[in-house]
């Protein structure tokens, strides 16, 4: 700006000495206009520069704010990361403690399982011995009664028991509950001797009928079957010295048939007395308790 003023002043002096007053004024006016034009242009440039500075200042402030926001966000994220890491460490410690606790509990359960498995094995062995013992009893009776006709007597081993089935024709005279055929004495004596040689055995004698009316009108079928069982019990205890405390009598009447009652042969199979030889439950319970004892 100062440079332009000096130039204008020198030009004015030079022109003053060379031209007339009117020319002089015209030249001054022209120079003023040129000066104003240049001044306006400079002011425009200055305004543009000021606006640019203002915009840059605003942008700088915005960037600063964004940077501060980013820094704040970064701090929050870092805090969250730190919190998560602390939670992970806590969970790891909990898992480690739980694993140790679970491992100790698992070892204890495994020991308990081993004890239970051993007890089950012992009980299984006990039951196996029981079953073998009854098979031995069944074989002993079969051998002693091998010559008895199959239609008069049957020997069966099932459910841990030995059952000697004595049909009516072998045991009783027709229509009687107390008169025993001579052919029944040997089987009954054999049963008594075998049971006496095994103190752990007991006997249950069960009488059965068919579905026809019993020969004695004064006696119901329940009583009829029970009376026949009682007669067999008396023979075992009184004639063959089997302890009375080891024998039990029962009657089932027609309600547990061996086969169909539709034929005469079937009804003959159902009129029977079963001598069921079994091991004493008290002895079995005692042995199981012994196995289960700590």
C-alpha 221: how far from chain center: 51
Could you read off the pLDDT of 102-139 as tens digits, one per residue?
A: 778 778 888 887 888 887 888 888 778 777 888 999 99
Of 40, 39, 16, nearest to 28 (Cα)? 16
| CA atoms of 188 and 155, how far apart (whole Å) | 13
pLDDT of residue 120: 85
Could you read off the pLDDT of 31-48 as tens digits, one per residue?
A: 777 777 777 777 777 777
| CA atoms of 192 and 197, how far apart (whole Å) | 9
Bridge pairing between strands 153-158 and 161-167: antiparallel
Could you read off the pLDDT of 199-241 as tens digits, one per residue?
A: 989 999 999 999 999 988 888 999 999 999 999 999 999 999 9
First to last CA, the chain: 117
CB contact at 8 A, 16 and 8: no
Lowest average pLDDT, out of 66-80, 156-170, 276-290, goes to: 66-80
> Rounded mean pLDDT of 144-166?
92
pLDDT of residue 6: 46
Distances (CA, A) of 162 to 28, 155, 158, 199, 251: 153, 7, 7, 15, 18
- Give Cβ neighbours of residue 221 (< 8 Å, ≥ 6 apart): 209, 213, 214, 253, 254
Of 153, 139, 138, nearest to 277 (Cα)? 138
C-alpha 20: how far from chain center: 126
Query: Average model confidence (pLDDT) for the chain?
Result: 83
pLDDT of residue 240: 97
CB contact at 8 A, 225 and 207: yes
């Amino acid at each position: 700006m100062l440079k332009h003023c000096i130039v204008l002043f020198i030009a004015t002096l030079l022109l003053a000495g060379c031209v007339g007053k009117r020319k002089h004024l015209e030249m001054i006016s022209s120079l003023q206009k040129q000066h104003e034009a240049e001044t306006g242009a400079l002011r425009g440039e200055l305004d543009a520069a000021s606006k640019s500075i203002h915009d840059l200042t605003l942008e700088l402030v915005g960037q600063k704010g964004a940077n501060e926001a980013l820094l704040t966000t970064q701090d929050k994220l870092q805090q969250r990361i730190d919190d998560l890491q602390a939670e992970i460490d806590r969970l790891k410690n909990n898992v480690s403690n739980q694993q140790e606790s679970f491992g100790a509990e698992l070892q204890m359960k495994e020991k308990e399982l081993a004890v239970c498995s051993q007890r089950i094995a012992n009980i299984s062995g006990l039951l196996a011995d029981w079953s073998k013992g009854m098979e031995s009893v069944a074989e002993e009776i079969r051998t002693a009664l091998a010559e008895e006709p199959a239609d008069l007597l049957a020997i069966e081993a099932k459910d841990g028991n030995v059952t000697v089935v004595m049909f009516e024709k072998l045991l009783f005279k027709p229509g009687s509950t107390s008169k025993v055929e001579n052919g029944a004495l040997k089987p009954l004596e054999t049963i008594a001797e075998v049971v006496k040689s095994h103190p752990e055995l007991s006997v249950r004698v069960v009488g059965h009928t068919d579905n026809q009316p019993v020969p004695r009108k004064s006696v119901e079928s329940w009583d009829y079957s029970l009376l026949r069982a009682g007669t067999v019990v008396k023979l075992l205890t009184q004639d063959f010295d089997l302890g009375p405390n080891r024998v039990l009598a029962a009657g089932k009447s027609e309600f547990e048939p061996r086969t169909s009652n539709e034929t005469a042969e079937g009804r003959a199979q159902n009129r029977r007395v079963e001598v069921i030889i079994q091991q004493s439950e008290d002895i079995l319970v005692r042995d199981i308790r012994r196995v289960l004892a700590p």
